[in-house]
A and B are shown apart, each in its own frame.
Chain A
């Protein structure tokens, strides 16, 4: 069963706005496999905080511009 993660991300949109950066290129720059980038984009895997920072740094944006976490329902 897929790991349920509530972490959302904007990596796909950020890649396209960064000159249509490929998943392979992003993977190379943060030291991940392309399959892990795909899993993160699809919300099937939550990366570590360190990798999250590395991804944000590649795009030159704050962490919360890349990743989001929905508010708990009251």
Chain B
């Protein structure tokens, strides 16, 4: 497994866990309160921050573990384990391109919500969903490309 594939796994797992936790907390309030009364702002900002911080921390932890494992097993030195080559770049470009189309489609939906003057709750969460789904689609496309060939 290349370093970039491991980074993709870290990003996908962090996104899934944080977005899932956010949906669990905020979604659970949907049946209890009208959407205008749901205080989603702080959890949403916290979720975005947590995604950034946990992805960085997870990548650092993965890098250290990979380097130690590489030195012990002799698979490679710490210097070359994070190598990124043209295949990684091609796979990344493919994932990002697909994610762009998916996020764009979501954003058209959010635009419609805004034009229909729907509550800010749905607009803000629609934008967040666009980023989350785009990120997960990007990760999925990359992981399939790494596993099944590119």
Question: Residues on A close to B: CB < 8 A?
Answer: 1-3, 24, 28, 31-36, 39, 42, 44-45, 47-48, 51
Which of these, A2, A24, A33, contacts B148 with CB under 8 Å?
Answer: A2
Contact sample, A vs B, 10 pairs, CB 8 Å cutoff: A24-B75, A32-B85, A32-B87, A33-B2, A33-B83, A33-B87, A35-B87, A35-B146, A36-B2, A47-B87
Interface size on B, residues (CB 8 A): 17
A31–B146 Cα distance when bound, in Å, is: 18
The residues of B with any CB-CB pair to A shorter than 8 Å are 1-3, 5, 75-76, 80, 83-88, 146, 148-150
Interface of chain B, helix or strand or loop or mixed?
Answer: loop
> Are A47 and B149 closer than 8 Å at their CB atoms?
no
Across the interface, B149 reaches (CB within 8 A) one of A3, A24, A34, A51, namely A3
Instruction: List the 9 closest A-B pairs by CB distance, nearest first.
Output: A2-B149, A44-B149, A36-B87, A32-B85, A33-B2, A35-B2, A36-B85, A33-B85, A33-B83
